Amino acid sequence: MRSAADRKRFEFEALPAMDSLYRSALRLTRNSSDAEDLVQETFVKAYRFWDKFEPGSNCRAWLFRIMTNVFINEYRSRSRSPVSASTDELDDRFLYGAGDVANQMSDPERDLASRVLMQDVHRAIDSLPDDFRLVIVLSFIERFSYKEIADITGLHLGTVKSRLHRGRKLCQRRLLRYAREYGYPTELAAS
């Protein structure tokens, strides 16, 4: 049984991370019900092992580590879908350039196009194999550093960098396909 002080400290340190955990869980599981279950399981395990948390360390990263382990051990095994693609010929500037264009839009038509683009970006992320999607979400959505991602996932730093690179390439390929469908110029991807 936890003391009232432990419970208050848990609430103070862990609960503020709930929104970002849910956002990432949604990207990982691809459905709101499973995301809610994943976050709930994460908090149950975190509370159960609260005595293992080192006060003063990064609680958010600790929670993401727990969520990552729960996802890998429980949710990921439900639906394995191997995907292979060669994306070496794509240029990183396509993904970054698309974001810059979206940030410069100001009229309603362009704002709508920007929202559609963001939906496409989220669909591209959702389409990634689990290993790539996990590091992409932790890096680009949750803004963890490479080192923090390595700590959260238990991967070597080089593996994190490699998966981020390959995950970006897979996203770029998908976004290039969307851009062509919408009639956007795709010269950036070809250069």
**pTM higher than 0.85 for the full model?**
no
Check residues 174 and 46 and name the one with the higher pLDDT: 46
Chain mean pLDDT for the chain: 79
Question: Cβ(96)–Cβ(117) under 8 Å?
Answer: no
Whole-number pLDDT of residue 179: 75
Question: Cβ(18)–Cβ(67) under 8 Å?
Answer: no
pLDDT above 90 (res 103): no
How large is the greatest C-alpha to C-alpha distance in the chain, in angstroms? Answer: 62
pLDDT above 60 (res 67): yes
pLDDT above 70 (res 114): no
* Side chain identity, residue 55: P
- Assigned architecture for domain 4-78: Orthogonal Bundle (1.10)
Give the start-to-end residue ranges of the domains of the chain. 4-78, 93-190
Residue pLDDT, tens place only, 130-188: 889 999 999 988 889 999 999 999 999 999 999 999 999 998 888 888 777 777 766 65
- What number of residues does the chain have? 191
Domain 93-190: give its CATH code: 1.10.10.10
Question: Cβ(63)–Cβ(46) under 8 Å?
Answer: yes
Instruction: Find the helix or strand (DSSP H, E) in which 171 lies.
Output: helix 157-182
Place of tokens 């990183």: 92
